[in-house]
Amino acid sequence: MSREMPTPPDTVDAARRLAVLGLAAAGIGAARAAGTRRVVRALVESWPPYLYPGEGQAVRGLDAELLVAICQRAGYEVSWVRAPIERRKRRYEQLLSDQFDVIFSATPVPDKLGEVMYTQPYRREIMMVAAPVVHDSTLELVRDFNDVLKRRVRLLHVEADGLGKEFEASRQALADAGLLVRYATGRQGVEMLRAGRAALILGDALDLQEQARQLGFPLVRQAYGYSETPVSLMLSRKRLNEADLRRINQAITELEQRGVLAAIRSRYAVQAGAASGGSKGSRPMDFRPSR
């Protein structure tokens, strides 16, 4: 039976030193990894007052401010991804293909939970019906969507579902009567209203306010069709997991308790100047977020 030659002491010491150095290096690497802030990639496109490019690499808007506050509290860094305007359905496809990590203003859909995650609500989505300040006097007699149907008033509406219980209850009847005209973006909708494609418009209140201000085409809000719905952040499962979801939800909870998110939202509040239902004394909406 052969015997193994004894290993010289110097060789043993050298091996031990290398092993210790290797463990130390591994420990440093793990510590660095643990200390690295996770990155949440968010898409920025021109969607004022929610998202719009600022000077340089800055991103401004309600959703931008809310996301940055939430991610900072949760210990994440926001990385903005710039891309041209796309339809909402296309954005969802891009999220699933790992081009970015979050979609704003999402309503949880149980069927999608295998592909994405939803945070708890971070703000409310406000829908409204509006008319041009200068409009046909017959609109003063329209008090609800039943009147819209009876008087055959054409209505522009954003290309989306969940536009308020009041509208959704009448959507099919209005569509069957040929009174609904869809639009993809707030800018397009207000331009179509200005061009006379319809007498009324239904859509996101802040979006319509801002687009009307930019176009110099003031609107007056109607008394019907107003709704508020909680919305969430939709998160991709490609790079984020359930632990990330818990951290982000905890950050939202803490910031709500401290009033931080409420303070941000209040600076972008829907203006109440034209809250009356199209009466002769109502004033045009004027969106000017405070700074």
Pick from 230, 268, 265, 273: nearest CA to 130: 273
Pick from 27, 57, 32, 23: nearest CA to 42: 57
The tens place of each residue's pLDDT in the chain, 291 residues long, gives 433 344 444 544 444 443 433 433 333 333 334 446 789 999 988 888 999 887 777 899 999 999 999 999 999 999 999 877 666 668 889 999 999 999 999 999 898 999 999 999 999 999 999 999 999 999 999 999 999 999 999 999 999 888 999 999 999 999 999 999 999 999 999 999 999 999 999 999 999 999 999 999 999 999 999 999 999 999 999 999 999 999 999 999 999 999 999 999 999 987 543 333 444 434 444 433 433
Residue type for 291, please? R
Q: What is the pLDDT of residue 91?
A: 87
d(CA 281, CA 213): 20
Q: What is the pLDDT of residue 269?
A: 85
Pick from 169, 206, 167: nearest CA to 190: 206
Q: What is the pLDDT of residue 239?
A: 92
All residues at 6 or more sequence positions from 143 whose CB lies less than 8 Å from its CB, including other chains? 223, 224, 277
Q: What is the pLDDT of residue 58?
A: 84
d(CA 37, CA 77): 6
Q: 77 — phi, psi (to 5°)?
A: -105, 135
Q: Beta strand pairing status for 52-53 and 59-60?
A: antiparallel
Q: What is the pLDDT of residue 48?
A: 87
Token pair 């004894």: residue:
6
Q: What is the pLDDT of residue 153?
A: 98
- pTM for this prediction: 0.77
Q: 144 — phi, psi (to 5°)?
A: -160, 180
